[in-house]
Amino acid sequence: EVQLVQSEAEVRKPGECLKISCQVSGYSFTNYWIGWVRQMPGKGLEWMGIIYPGDSDTRYSPSFEGLVTISADKSINTTYLELKGLKASDIAIYYCARHSIGGSVASPFDFWGQGTLVTVSS
Amino acid sequence: DIQMTQSPSSLSASVGDRVTITCRTSQSITTYLNWYQHKPGRTPNLLIYRASTLQSGVPSRFTGSGSGTDFTLTISSLQPEDFATYYCQQSYTIPNTFGQGTKVEIK
């Protein structure tokens, strides 16, 4: 069974950094692109970026380039989303999701993590 | 980036109604168009991919159509569990942008 399990909700102060995780199981981690999606309160889904864990090839949306870092650790089947210099505008639920076709970004997200709520408050 | 325009942004409908949501893209994406259903407190659920292919396990009352720049999601007979927000997404090019969502509410 394919599963993506994300780290728990986090609270941080403005200016701090945060790394949230997404550990997968039930399929070959290195062979499928995984993406990160943001949902701000009351807003829609925003595509942030993706990583191919096999070689750590990473692509970002221009809206998030330089603001976040996506990485992967093949030894523990985990991908990470690092948020830098947190602001109140970073308050959101962050989802990881797997592209459905191995090796292809031209495919939908078929499995999703449960989401990680990030709160930024002084 | 490819811009996605969904309409309407929200709608009210009754159980049993036929519901149609449209998605227009700023350039041709052939058929690389996906539809998701998202309920509060849940993860998004893939309904349709490649414009018209029903994801396994999704009820047949959901259908997708279109190609190029204009796409449609139709729910043939709205059920109580279908009240949710629906998003289109293009997977033609990176970034794989989402539409702004269509909230389907109970009339």
B62 in contact with chain A, both atoms CB, cutoff 8 A: no
| Cβ burial, residue B3 (10 Å; 0-12/13-18/19+) | exposed
Give me the numbers of helices (H) and strands (E) for chain A, helices first please. Answer: 0, 11
pLDDT at B11: 97
- Identify the residue whose tokens are 């650790």: A73
**Which pLDDT tens digit goes with each residue over A7-42?**
999 999 999 999 999 999 999 999 999 999 999 999
Q: Determine contact, residues B43/A5, Cβ cutoff 8 Å.
A: no
Interface of A with B in 37-66 (CB under 8 A): 37, 44-47, 49-50, 59-63
Q: Determine contact, residues B48/B73, Cβ cutoff 8 Å.
A: yes
Length of chain B: 107
pLDDT at A93: 98
pLDDT at A8: 98
**Contacts with A97 from chain B: Cβ below 8 Å:** 44
pLDDT at B54: 98
Q: Determine contact, residues A22/A51, Cβ cutoff 8 Å.
A: no
| DSSP H or E stretch at residue A3 | strand A3-6
Output DSSP code: residue A9: P
A3 in contact with chain B, both atoms CB, cutoff 8 A: no
A2 in contact with chain B, both atoms CB, cutoff 8 A: no
pLDDT at A67: 95
Q: Determine contact, residues A53/A29, Cβ cutoff 8 Å.
A: yes
**Positions of chain B with pLDDT lower than 70, given as ranges:** none
- Euclidean distance between CA atoms A79 and A6, whole angstroms: 9
DSSP string, chain B: ---EEEE-SEEEE-TT--EEEEEEESS--TT-EEEEEE-TTS--EEEEETTTEEPTT--TTEEEEEETTEEEEEESS--GGG-SEEEEEE-SSSS-PBP--EEEEE-
